[in-house]
Structure 1
Amino acid sequence: MQQYDEGQWIKVQGSASRVIIYQANKREFLQHAFADNIEDVVSKHYKHATGQSVGPAELRSWTNSLSHMAKVLYDDEIPDDAGVAIEYQVPQTSKRIDFLITGLDEQRQPKVVIVELKQWSEARVSEKDGIIWARRGGRAGESEGAHPSYQAWSYAALLNDFNTAVLDDGMVLQPCAYLHNYPQRDGVIDHPKYTPHIDKAPLFLKPERDRLQAFIRQHVRHGDCKNLLYRIEHGRIQPSKMLADAVVGLLQGKNEFVLIDDQKLVYESVLEAEAKAVNGPKQVVIVQGGPGTGKSVVAINLLAALIGKGRNARYVSKNAAPRAVFEAKLTGTFKKTRISNLFSGSGGFTDPAADSFDALIVDEAHRLNEKSGLYGNLGENQVKEIITSARCCVFLVDDDQRVTIADIGHTGELRKWAAALGAQVTELNLASQFRCSGSDGYVAWLDDTLAIRSTANQTLDTTEYDFRVVDSPTELHELIEKKNQVANKARVVAGYCWGWPSKTDSQAYDIDIPEYGYQRRWNLSQDGSLWIVTPGSVEQVGCIHTCQGLELDYVGVIIGPDLVYREGQIRPDANGRARSDKSIKGLKSLVKKNPVAAQEMADRIIKNTYRTLMTRGMRGCFVYCTDRLLAEYLRSRLRGVVMEQPVEHVDRGIAAKAPASNVIPLRVVSAAERAAGKNAAPLIDLRFAAGSFSESQSFEEGAQQWIELPDWIPYQPGFFVAQVVGESMNRRIPNGSWCLFRAAPGGTRNGKVVVVQHRSIDDPETGGSYTIKRYSSEKIMEADGTWRHTRIELWPETDSPGFEAIVLEVGEDEEFAVVAEMLTVL
């Protein structure tokens, strides 16, 4: 088995993080399982892919579960060349599919069997749909969570939604669950209430290995040599659906989102609590969750479910921006009176009639205030008033998003008033990440970097989440404007460090950074709460109040002088805030009473503000810091950085890009190691690769170096490694990635990513007569039975504007060559 030298492995700069931790064919998997300790093999792949070691609990889980899957696959009728994958990260989430088996069925239909593995030996029925009690590991004892069949089905549904290769290649996903320690069907794990979920994802228990084998044989009759795994891993990932775009469908009863794991548990728990409140005691449900955990998605799903049951329910938020955006999306579909009856500000319950609502769903509850009204002179306490007004109240809260001194809706305040008003309290947590490319690591890194809380995430891998520190506000705004051309889902925001002169003088600029000639206006005067969705508003700068609770694809953040880096520490400075900033109103009086507590509160508000702003982007966050030392500090905590050259006008309006570093992703192999049979491939400059050569010895002559391949890629003649520069294929190949290619590929090329050379190509990114694109062709049959190309289409796969397909009308006298096929990003 290939041995790893841990000190010599380097994460490739600019590459996409590998979403499949381990992949092999069945024969190789069984070899690893029975001869090489599969858990050791997978853990080394895990460390290679993530740079992190595997925890003891997960290692024990692999030791147990993977050996059982090896016994399942030890079946002569399951083809040896079927694909096997372990730990596939579901796109746009932090969840992983345990086990996949790929191949073709009897009709040659591509199939993917998804297996959710559990070590449970007992369970207990829950009254909630799709939820079951079980011991889920750790010391917490039994807890409620998704039934394994629901879990397998939900992961398959997400894969189908996000990965375009599944649909484009006609793959059929077949989810199932395997509880290899569960002794028998006992009327619990297979209770009739779980039948709808088991019908979608069949359930197999300890004595039913033969049934699982038959299930796999039914769907995988022929192997695919890992082709489907390649398609899945390199399939274009669709962006997460944004809540604002789906609110109409949700309120019309459509299933716009698949709720997974803790989201499903919260949803079902709230519905149960609301049902109890009809004839029982008042119910309060407190749901804690950080950025991107789906708090607002769960909130709108609950609103839709409750009004569908005829309940008098409302969505409540202190922030006007989410309400305004949702209401604007509903205009034209729902009557205005209907919309106003669905959404409310938090100050609308100052004179509460007890239990006048069946349910109030309070989003961003941390923003609740004590007093209400324009001048803060109405009511007693918004938390008290809301709980009084409804039989069931749901508070979705993140204590780390309190951004003004007036924000009182933290969990302690919610618990206090629930107890005072005699309500039964249920507390739940949301942990599933859907923002920040599904990366738990980004939010944890941000918390550690801003000194909000210590985490193990000391550095951020920017290949997983597109985070950049730029040198000027002008560059920042240009990047965001470019990203915004794709879908109008990118905006610039800033801390409250600049005044608002444009409020009284429409010609004045608010944010003025003269050393860069940067002048912009706050958004509030023109588009107000709808700034984040108004076309053309990208030229303005938003603030915390018009983006909190909402999401973007990309966010650009201007960090002002209220956050600096001094003497090795992040230091908030309230004096850097503008005088017009009301978020720290009352700070001076607090300082007189308790200066230490006042300083801690001001520091936390400033840190929370930037944490909230920097987590609005689902796909990326770009930052400009007015404090140069802070910018250097942020850069020092990044790895895998890709620096882009300034935007320049070139042919077809495309800007050429270059990676900041040429660090090779794998270890360089010496001549002696090669002679001893080390698994390695030549490193080739693509400009050389696109020249006229086809013999394997040409690679050796043109090789710059030879590099070690991962043990799951055995070297074959014609393999070579090269770096791909440019943005035209960034959905599959991030700019600067190092990739494995096969020279002079045979067979069909349709749908594959290839290097093509033709005299009419003038690619502005490669600077020559070759290009790297997805291949499509049209052919005609000649009289002698041979085929001839008549038209070649070379398609970009990018989220950058300006790239178009290259169309080649191929004649008999023209030279055309497919030089190489891209196999994988290393």
Structure 2
Amino acid sequence: MIVYSASKAEFVEHVKFNAIEKLIEEAVYKKLKRRTGKSEVQSWKNSLQYMFNILTDESIPASAGVAVEYNIPLTSRRVDFILTGKDRSRNDTAIIVELKQWSTAQVTEKDAIVKTYLNGGIQETNHPSYQAWSYSALIEDYNETVRDEHIGLRPCAYLHNMECGAAVNDSRYAEHTDRAPVFINSDAKKLSDFLKRYIKYGDTDDIMYRIEHGVIKPSKTLADSLASMLRGNREFILLDEQKLVYETALELSEKGRENPKQTLIVKGGPGTGKSVVAVNLLVEATNREMLAQFVSKNAAPREVFKTRLTGTMRKTHIDNLFRGSGGYTETESNRFDLLIVDEAHRLNEKSGLYGNLGENQIKELIKSSKTSIFFIDEDQRVTLSDIGTIGEIRDFARKLGSKVTVMELSSQFRCNGSDGYLAWVDHVLQIRQTANANLEGIDYDFRVFDDPNQLREVIEKKNRRANKARLVAGYCWDWNSKKNPEAYDIAIPEHGFKARWNLDKHGSKWLIAEDSISEIGCIHTCQGLELEYVGVILGDDFLIRDGVAVTNASKRSRSDRSVRGYKKMLKEDRESALAIADMIIKNTYRTLMTRGMKGCYIYSSDPETREYFRSVSRSWVEEKDDEMLLHALPYDVVDYEAARPYEGYVPLYDLQAAAGDFSEFQYPEESQWVHLPEHFHTKKGQFVVQVVGESMNKRIPNGAWCLFSDNPGGTRNGKIVLVQHRAIEDPDHGGSYTVKLYRSEKTFVDGDLVNQRVTLSPVTSSVGYADLVFDADDLDDLHVVGEFVAVLA
């Protein structure tokens, strides 16, 4: 998402007449649904005034594009300023400018870390050049359009208030300033020259729009990348707080080799990159010849990582890298250089199968290592035996003579980078009240289903692409299939729905097992891991009555050890027991509902609960067909009477209704119309349709809304077109039309150049799609309905 976009000429006018900060403030409220503080508005005004001074150079083309506050896909990080255009060779280029208000900076011994005045004091933070470069690299990693269409990204940083640049240009940061030069106040001419070096001509091809609406492929999950990471290739780019936590952890681990012992507590919610930082630390610590281990109470992440490593390392080496939290009861003091504890909120007091070993897992971990790092989210404590709290870690560190450092991760990578969705989950589960009372304006696919069979069908469809979608449920059904694999566990008779919990044969590898899609996972097999889409079945332990969340731990299965001891607690202190159980149940569903990076779909057998989630989500996609609504259309859709035809409005056609002859379907006055942004110069003959299927997924995502132009003229060779032919039976929708890359072979007949053969080719990473070839005899019936213009959403 881009908060503000314009041409250079428009941007200069907006700043010149003191309108820029107001325009951005209004755009932030409209697009992000949040008010902006005075200090942030003032920082926009100051920084953009300096960029205005740079852009008044007439050598920078007036038609260059300007974008302010661009949200990097799948994160909550924003790029301050982007200038787009073409270089001397007419290659598409986007210059990323990280703007800073800093007046001073200090050098540190940490890689890419400086000190400056932030939040009322001197703080450590990322070097601006590293920050600009990491944003650039992340965009390239996530955005297939940038890679495939060879859009060059050029990062830099501009510290316009800084008078002396000795610290930020210190030689120890040369690696980063070489990749992304840093400019201070007196470098205005150098910055101008830098911009002109890469932007010679204007943006005539909507470069920023293509970047914003390009094909987004999420970053690889930790499990997919661990093998190469352990060979020394850190595949994940560490952003902002992640980089600072990583460097600080390495510094503390070096100190911990001497005295005193070190303990680092890292707070972070779902998807903040805790596991990414943890594994990066494991890799680097091993490279530094430290004796280090990755520790988690939950076996699922460990087993997934081990499975991904099979064949690249000896099993004994893998087992020595990943350990359960109960394996340190007998370990000698300071045996390890570094213990990295993931999901520390899941730690228990006692260890062993029967809870009869050791004294306290937190104490044992700190005692066993010179440096211990605890990654923790107290809101993901999901059993009565979970004792992992920041207070407990502090107390034991103090008793064992370990110096404590506390840091926090806030950059979101789960749930499409949406802090808003995570806040909404907390709000609707009534964990805490937030400003996100509904999902309006939040880019996340959330749906409510009235039939669990439909939910299962959609999840199975999502899983076909990458084996990264699963059904999970609250632990409210007994695990009968554990002893009898033929038995069913989860039964919803009114819908004829039956399913099994994850089979014992898969164990903790359920999430990645190829044949486990028919099974249902629980909190214990998915916590700490990621999916693309998650389907959640809510049990009777969580109901809504008159708008109030009512939890009931007695509805949990007797097989569920997470509420073991609840009845005893209830007798001893009823009020306290009810409060703790309420927290456990809500945290469980919070965790389940935040496993999906792209979407979460839910079902509850209770109608009032379903209606509650439907009302608070206000998601229009829930009532539509799944295959046709994979993406929401973010523009106003109106009836013909309310539109201004082809003056910013174009008709919206339903291709599914065009299974016959598309030309017979085109009656604009009977269609709805879409209001497009101003930079689209709409004209008669243009229309919007939704393209379904994976045959063009390198250019057009499945379910994307696309703009087409009818009979634009000129050659169609090498262009993407919507075509119709009686012989076509598209594998994705069965219609006699399809969207493909058009290539023709021509020959001269009686002095005229005519088509001899036309080939329609998929542009896809998926298998099963073949070229469609039409020879001369078939070409009379081949109708090119429209030429692809752009992906809208």
- Flag whether TM exceeds 0.5 (same fold): yes
Alpha-carbon separation, structure 1, partners of 2:113 and 2:437: 36
In structure 1, the residue matched to 2:114 is 132
Cα displacement string for residues 778-809 of structure 1 (whole angstroms, at most 9, x for unaligned residues): 4446596958473242537699x987665555
| Contact 1:81 1:226 survives alignment (8 Å) | no
Q: Is 1:340 matched with 2:307? A: no
1:542 to 521, 537, 552: 521
Equivalent residue letter for 1:160: E
> Which consecutive unaligned segments of at least 5 residues does structure 1 have?
1-18, 648-655
Measured after TM superposition, the shift of residue 246 of structure 1 is 0.7
1:123 to 81, 102, 105: 105
Alpha-carbon separation, structure 2, partners of 1:639 and 1:383: 43
**Distance change (3 Å), C-alpha of 1:27 and 1:461:** same
2:651 to 680, 683, 686: 683
Equivalent residue letter for 2:94: V
Q: Is 1:429 matched with 2:408? A: yes
Q: Is 1:617 matched with 2:571? A: no
Alpha-carbon separation, structure 1, partners of 2:752 and 2:775: 21
How large is the Cα RMSD of the aligned pairs? 3.1
**Distance change (3 Å), C-alpha of 1:167 and 1:30:** same
| Contact 1:494 1:558 survives alignment (8 Å) | yes
Cα displacement string for residues 539-566 of structure 1 (whole angstroms, at most 9, x for unaligned residues): 1111111111111111111111000001
1:147 to 127, 140, 149: 127
Cα displacement string for residues 119-164 of structure 1 (whole angstroms, at most 9, x for unaligned residues): 111122222111112234xx44332221110001001111111111
**Distance change (3 Å), C-alpha of 1:365 and 1:471:** same
In structure 2, the residue matched to 1:795 is 762
In structure 1, the residue matched to 2:788 is 821
**Distance change (3 Å), C-alpha of 1:624 and 1:691:** closer
Q: Is 1:376 matched with 2:355? A: yes
| Contact 1:447 1:454 survives alignment (8 Å) | yes
- Please give the TM-score of this superposition, normalised by the length of structure 2: 0.92
| Contact 2:473 2:522 survives alignment (8 Å) | yes
1:290 to 269, 279, 295: 269
| Contact 1:561 1:576 survives alignment (8 Å) | yes
Measured after TM superposition, the shift of residue 392 of structure 1 is 0.2
1:328 to 307, 310, 326: 307
| Contact 1:562 1:572 survives alignment (8 Å) | yes
Q: Does the residue aligned with 2:115 lie in a helix, a strand or coil?
A: strand
In structure 1, the residue matched to 2:490 is 511
2:252 to 273, 285, 295: 273
Alpha-carbon separation, structure 2, partners of 1:785 and 1:95: 56
Measured after TM superposition, the shift of residue 24 of structure 1 is 2.5
| Contact 2:474 2:537 survives alignment (8 Å) | yes
Cα displacement string for residues 625-648 of structure 1 (whole angstroms, at most 9, x for unaligned residues): 12221111111112342136678x
Q: Is 1:724 matched with 2:690? A: yes
Equivalent residue letter for 1:299: A
Measured after TM superposition, the shift of residue 331 of structure 1 is 2.2
Q: Does the residue aligned with 2:267 lie in a helix, a strand or coil?
A: strand
In structure 2, the residue matched to 1:350 is 329
Measured after TM superposition, the shift of residue 585 of structure 1 is 0.9
What does 1:651-730 correspond to in 2, within 5 Å?
Answer: 657=628, 665=636, 680-683=648-651, 685=653, 702=669, 709-710=676-677, 712-713=678-679, 715-718=681-684, 720=686, 722-724=688-690, 726=692
Cα displacement string for residues 637-673 of structure 1 (whole angstroms, at most 9, x for unaligned residues): 12342136678xxxxxxxx6369999971577988x9
Alpha-carbon separation, structure 2, partners of 1:667 and 1:30: 34
Alpha-carbon separation, structure 2, partners of 1:366 and 1:268: 23
Cα displacement string for residues 159-182 of structure 1 (whole angstroms, at most 9, x for unaligned residues): 111111111112221111111111
Cα displacement string for residues 336-357 of structure 1 (whole angstroms, at most 9, x for unaligned residues): 2211221111111112311111
**Distance change (3 Å), C-alpha of 1:749 and 1:153:** farther
**Distance change (3 Å), C-alpha of 1:350 and 1:662:** closer
Measured after TM superposition, the shift of residue 463 of structure 1 is 6.5
Bigger Cα displacement from structure 2, 75-84 vs 379-388: 75-84
In structure 1, the residue matched to 2:93 is 111
Measured after TM superposition, the shift of residue 714 of structure 1 is 5.9
Q: Does the residue aligned with 1:188 lie in a helix, a strand or coil?
A: coil
In structure 1, the residue matched to 2:374 is 395
Cα displacement string for residues 688-726 of structure 1 (whole angstroms, at most 9, x for unaligned residues): 999669xxxx99x7475776554x336443374545374
Q: Does the residue aligned with 1:531 lie in a helix, a strand or coil?
A: helix
Q: Does the residue aligned with 1:341 lie in a helix, a strand or coil?
A: helix
| Contact 2:649 2:675 survives alignment (8 Å) | yes
1:418 to 397, 402, 410: 397
**Distance change (3 Å), C-alpha of 1:438 and 1:663:** closer
| Contact 1:774 1:797 survives alignment (8 Å) | no
In structure 1, the residue matched to 2:80 is 98
| Contact 1:84 1:102 survives alignment (8 Å) | yes
Equivalent residue letter for 2:198: H
- Please give the TM-score of this superposition, normalised by the length of structure 1: 0.88
Alpha-carbon separation, structure 2, partners of 1:703 and 1:681: 14
| Contact 1:664 1:738 survives alignment (8 Å) | no
**Distance change (3 Å), C-alpha of 1:389 and 1:238:** same
Q: Does the residue aligned with 1:478 lie in a helix, a strand or coil?
A: helix
1:579 to 558, 562, 565: 558
Q: Does the residue aligned with 1:717 lie in a helix, a strand or coil?
A: coil
| Contact 2:427 2:433 survives alignment (8 Å) | yes
Measured after TM superposition, the shift of residue 768 of structure 1 is 6.0
Q: Does the residue aligned with 2:173 lie in a helix, a strand or coil?
A: helix
| Contact 2:712 2:787 survives alignment (8 Å) | yes
**Distance change (3 Å), C-alpha of 1:686 and 1:355:** closer
Alpha-carbon separation, structure 2, partners of 1:807 and 1:639: 45
Greater RCO, 1 or 2 (C-alpha within 8 Å, sep 6+):
1
Measured after TM superposition, the shift of residue 760 of structure 1 is 4.0
Equivalent residue letter for 1:681: Y
Work out the percentage of aligned pairs sharing the same amino acid.
Answer: 47
What does 1:457-536 correspond to in 2, within 5 Å?
Answer: 457-461=436-440, 464-536=443-515
In structure 1, the residue matched to 2:145 is 165
Bigger Cα displacement from structure 2, 724-733 vs 436-445: 724-733
Q: Is 1:217 matched with 2:217? A: no
1:74 to 50, 56, 65: 56
1:33 to 6, 10, 15: 15
Alpha-carbon separation, structure 2, partners of 1:203 and 1:601: 51
Q: Does the residue aligned with 2:562 lie in a helix, a strand or coil?
A: coil
Alpha-carbon separation, structure 1, partners of 2:649 and 2:482: 63
